[in-house]
Amino acid sequence: MVLDIVSSVLLLGGALFCAVGAFGLLRFPDLISRLQAATKPQTIGLIMVLGGAALQLKVVDALGFLLVALIQVITAPVLSQLVGRAGYRIGAIDRTSLVEDHLGERLRRDGLAPPKGRPGDR
């Protein structure tokens, strides 16, 4: 009985996190904000859904969910970082909104020029 309640709370909470992340993905104005909405709440939501479903399974069967969660936790931040860097390099990010521009400093130090201006200036 208690296991069913905990499982239900995890499933509904995870679905809510995923819905909030999807809403943020549609609502936020720029690439960096959308990447944030696409990775953090989606990852937490997926882990909660997997946890809620795993509570209803045998331990041996639930280990597959652990592997899925681990892969998600490892790959989501890496892919978000790669997409953000690609967006920065093509000029899709408004650099004036950045508090710290570490990538721009690194590109200048390596002799590569960061993109000029804002996305609408092309």
Phi, psi of 101, deg, nearest 5: -115, 70
Convert the pLDDT of each residue in 9-19 to its tens digit.
999 999 999 99
Question: What pTM did the predictor assign?
Answer: 0.79
Return the number of other C-beta atoms located less than 10 Å from residue 36's C-beta. 16
Convert the pLDDT of each residue in 42-75 to its tens digit.
999 999 999 999 999 999 989 999 999 999 999 9
Distance CA 36, CA 46 (A): 15
Enter the tokens of residue 69: 């969660």
Average model confidence (pLDDT) across the chain: 88
List all residues 6 or more positions away from 40 whose beta carbon is below 8 Å from its beta carbon. 21
pLDDT over threshold 90, residue 106: no
- The predicted structure's pLDDT at residue 47: 95
Q: What percent of the chain has pLDDT over 70?
A: 94
Q: Are 37 and 28 in contact (CB under 8 A)?
A: yes
